[in-house]
C-alpha cells in the first residue's frame, strides 16, 4: 500500500513539474512573439519615414509623374505605380533594376530603340514638362507646382508651399534672385538651386 501511495505521489509531482514547464514555455513564446511583432512594427515605421525615395517617371507609362516608393524598389514597381506601360513601350527593359535614390526614369518606346534611361544627377531630374512648370531642364518658379518645386535640391514640401504662397501674395518673381525673399531660402540655399530654376 505504501508503495502504491509513493508511486501516486511521485506521479503527481512529475505532472506538476511538467505542467509548470509547459506553462513557462507558452508564456515565453507569447512574450517573444509580442516582442518580435513590436520590433517588426517599429522597423516598418522607420522604413516608411526614412527609406522613401522620389522617382520622376516619364515616357511610355500610363500616368507619368512623381511617385514616392521604398528605397530598393525596382523599375517594375515604379512603372506599376504609374499605371503600367503604354502599348508603345518597349519590352527591352531591365525591370529588376533597383532604385536606391531619387532619379528620373524615361521609359522609351519601341520606335526610340527601347530601353529605359535612368538620370541620377540633381539637374537631370528636371525634364521638359510644361504642365508642371519644368521647362528646358529648369523649373519655372513662377508656374511650377509643389511637386515640381520639391525636386529642387534642399527644397522640401514646406518650402515648396512657401514659394507658392509667396508668389500668390506678391506676384511673379522678376528675377531668380527674388526667391530669396521666401522664408527659409537664404543665399546658401539659393546657390544650390540657382542652376535649376528660371522665371520664363
pLDDT at residue 45, rounded to an integer = 47
Q: What is the pTM of this model?
A: 0.43
CA distance 121 to 179: 23
CA distance 82 to 80: 5
pLDDT at residue 169, rounded to an integer = 94
Domains in the chain, start-ordered, CATH in brackets? 48-120 (no CATH), 123-200 (1.10.150.280)
Q: Is 24 helix (H, G, I), strand (E, B) or coil?
A: helix
CA distance 148 to 146: 6
pLDDT at residue 22, rounded to an integer = 65
What is the grid cell recorded at 2?
505504501
Task: Tell me the C-alpha to C-alpha distance, in Å, between residue 188 and each of 129, 138, 184, 191, 199.
Answer: 27, 19, 10, 5, 20
CA distance 184 to 108: 38
Mean pLDDT by 10 residues, the chain (200 residues): 62 70 62 44 50 84 89 93 90 85 82 73 46 58 83 81 94 95 91 83
Contact 69, 78 (CB under 8 A): yes
Give the H/E segment covering residue 28.
helix 2-50
pLDDT at residue 3, rounded to an integer = 57
CB neighbour list of residue 166: distance below 8 Å, 6 or more residues apart: 181, 182, 183
pLDDT at residue 162, rounded to an integer = 95
Contact 111, 89 (CB under 8 A): no
CA 22, 25, 29 angle in degrees (round to 5)?
A: 140
CA atoms within 13 A on the CB side of 135: 12
pLDDT at residue 27, rounded to an integer = 64
pLDDT at residue 125, rounded to an integer = 46
Closest CA to 198 of 148, 156, 154, 135: 135
Contact 139, 154 (CB under 8 A): no
Closest CA to 198 of 117, 132, 143, 127: 143
CA distance 27 to 35: 12
Amino acid at each position: 500500500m505504501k508503495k502504491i501511495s509513493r508511486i501516486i505521489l511521485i506521479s503527481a509531482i512529475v505532472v506538476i513539474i511538467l505542467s509548470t514547464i509547459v506553462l513557462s514555455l507558452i508564456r515565453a513564446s507569447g512574450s517573444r512573439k509580442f516582442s518580435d511583432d513590436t520590433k517588426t512594427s517599429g522597423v516598418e515605421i522607420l522604413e516608411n519615414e526614412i527609406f522613401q525615395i522620389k522617382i520622376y517617371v516619364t515616357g511610355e507609362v500610363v500616368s507619368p509623374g512623381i511617385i514616392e516608393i521604398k528605397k530598393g524598389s525596382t523599375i517594375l514597381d515604379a512603372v506599376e505605380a504609374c499605371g503600367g506601360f503604354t502599348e508603345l513601350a518597349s519590352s527591352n527593359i531591365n525591370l529588376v533594376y533597383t532604385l536606391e535614390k531619387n532619379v528620373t526614369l524615361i521609359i522609351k518606346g519601341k520606335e526610340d530603340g527601347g530601353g529605359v534611361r535612368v538620370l541620377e544627377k540633381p539637374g537631370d531630374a528636371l525634364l521638359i514638362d510644361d504642365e508642371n512648370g519644368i521647362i528646358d531642364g529648369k523649373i519655372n518658379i513662377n508656374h511650377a507646382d509643389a511637386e515640381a518645386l520639391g525636386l529642387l535640391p534642399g527644397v522640401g514640401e514646406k518650402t515648396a508651399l512657401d514659394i507658392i504662397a509667396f508668389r500668390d501674395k506678391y506676384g511673379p518673381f522678376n528675377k531668380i534672385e527674388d526667391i530669396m525673399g521666401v522664408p527659409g531660402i537664404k543665399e546658401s540655399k539659393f546657390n544650390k538651386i540657382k542652376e535649376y530654376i528660371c522665371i520664363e
